Amino acid sequence: MNQNASTWSPLFKEAVSTDFRDFHECLDQDKRIALYDVAGSQVHAAMLARAGILTERENVDIQAGLNQIAEEMRSGTFAWKKELEDVHMNVESRLTVLVGDAGKKLHTARSRNDQVATDIRLYARAELDALAGELRVLIGAFTDLAELHAETIMPGFTHLQVAQPVTFGHHLMAYVEMFLRDLERVIQARERLNVCPLGAAALAGSGYPIDPDYSAAQLGFAAAFRNSMDTVSDRDYVIDICNAGAVVMGHLSRFSEEVILWCTPMFDFIEVGDQFCTGSSIMPQKRNPDLAELVRGKAARVIGNLAVAITLMKSQPLAFNKDQQESKPPLTDTFETVRAAVTVTAQMIATIKARKDKMLAAADKGHSTATDLADYLVRAGVPFRDAHHAVAAIVGLARDRGLATLAQMPLADMQAIASAIGPEVFDVLTVEGSVASRSHKGGTAPEQVRRAIAEIRELLG
């Protein structure tokens, strides 16, 4: 094999093979955490100076050098060197060029194990904050559309069969509840990861008089680690985040599937803005809601990231193992995919136009007010199971006659099956009456939809 020119230390008699070096390096992933590595290093240097491990002059020089490195990274002029493997060695190498031997002292009382664990937590914390904000925007988009359609009647489905009339606003607010739970999961994941590993070193802590609490406070963590072995080897937070991301994408995928169905001529419930649709290279009439299809497809990848993250950790003995390098790709891909999907879906929602007449007509099909007729009989004193049986017979008769709605059934024919039915029954056989009757907390009546919207807006501030 080809050999490169460098070795780890005099302990190694031969250089690392080029193929192994290429297999080993992770700079593409590490560039995402580079500025967090610099921030952690600045706090570590300040802590070393407070402990008397570095002189004040050395700390000043290191801080200046790290500031320059951060600026080079932001401007894109930082010279990444693949042979240095990772962000940590790239930063240390550049720092040593800038400030001399003081740069070589920065790694005192620190290992790449606690260093990378700190960097990833800082990165993940910032990404979770951004995702939480984007979920709030998404929830706002659903809420705004729901408010426009608090009275728009559509069919509700179970088993994808017409079940009972609901309002489009109520249907949309169901997704708000899903994304509120997602927001809660994101916030909880942030709380669990907000512990600083800096000072745990390789696995056993440090023999120097370090101050992990100081480092934690300076980096905005809620606490410092309690167990050095756990903190350098913990990637539970990666699993937490991948899980939260997978559930978000699952919810987005459910909505995307409905968007795709609703846009078909068979449903024709909604129209999505042109900016989120594509056409066909051969069929001029096609107008495909491709954003929804892409979101549905990307959900599979994010769910796969969860499988990678949780499987990666299942057999690792304490403490750190190089396997954990493989926790970065599912984490970063989850953040990038979920954040993009949440953002673009919120934008798409703002362009949705509902075809109210098509929704209303569909809600009146499939004998969707059958449950209302059963409830009518119960209120007339018929036991529910008997009422259910009688209405099933009426529905069967309506189907045999090709009647689209129960309201088309002659009163005498219904009375022949259930004598408790009176002429006022037709008031409860309309989809408008059905929707209006669900006027309790959480129901689909328009006033309850508006009440739910007000609660959500108050909750999110």
For residues 240 and 270, state if they share a domain: yes
Query: Which residues have a Cβ under 8 Å from the Cβ of 84 and sit 6 or more positions away?
Result: 90, 93
Rounded mean pLDDT of 299-310? 98
Whole-Å CA distances, 40 to 3, 22, 57: 33, 26, 19
In this structure, is residue 213 part of a structural domain? no
196 backbone dihedrals φ, ψ, rounded to 5°: -90, 125
Inter-residue contact 124 to 95 (CB < 8 Å): no
Amino acid at site 130 = A
pLDDT > 50? residue 7: no
Amino acid at site 360 = L
For residues 124 and 189, state if they share a domain: yes
For residues 233 and 369, state if they share a domain: no
- Domain of 309, in residue numbers: 116-161+168-207+227-354
pLDDT > 50? residue 3: no
Query: Which residues have a Cβ under 8 Å from the Cβ of 337 and sit 6 or more positions away?
Result: 245, 249, 298, 301, 302
Q: What is the mean pLDDT of the chain?
A: 95
In this structure, is residue 46 part of a structural domain? yes
pLDDT > 60? residue 1: no
Domain harbouring 421, CATH code: 1.10.40.30
Encode pLDDT of 169-187 as tens digits: 999 999 999 999 999 999 9
Write the Ramachandran bin of 15: left for phi over 0, alpha for psi from -120 to 50, otherwise beta: beta
For residues 405 and 271, state if they share a domain: no
Domain harbouring 241, CATH code: 1.20.200.10
Residue 280 annotated in active site: yes
pLDDT > 90? residue 50: yes
For residues 264 and 396, state if they share a domain: no
Rounded mean pLDDT of 429-443? 95
Residue 256 annotated in active site: no
pTM of the model: 0.93
Active-site residue (options: 159, 281, 315, 440): 159
Domain harbouring 62, CATH code: 1.10.275.10
In this structure, is residue 218 part of a structural domain? no
- Count the domains in the chain: 3
Active-site residue (options: 93, 107, 206, 280): 280
Q: Of 328, 354, 380, at which residue does a domain stop?
A: 354
For residues 300 and 398, state if they share a domain: no
Inter-residue contact 215 to 43 (CB < 8 Å): yes
For residues 370 and 396, state if they share a domain: yes
Q: Of 354, 379, 403, at which residue does a domain stop?
A: 354
For residues 284 and 427, state if they share a domain: no
pLDDT of the residue at 9? 67
Label residue 6 by pLDDT band (50, 70, 90). low
For residues 285 and 412, state if they share a domain: no
Encode pLDDT of 385-395 as tens digits: 999 999 999 99
Q: Of 108, 128, 145, at which residue does a domain stop?
A: 108
For residues 121 and 201, state if they share a domain: yes
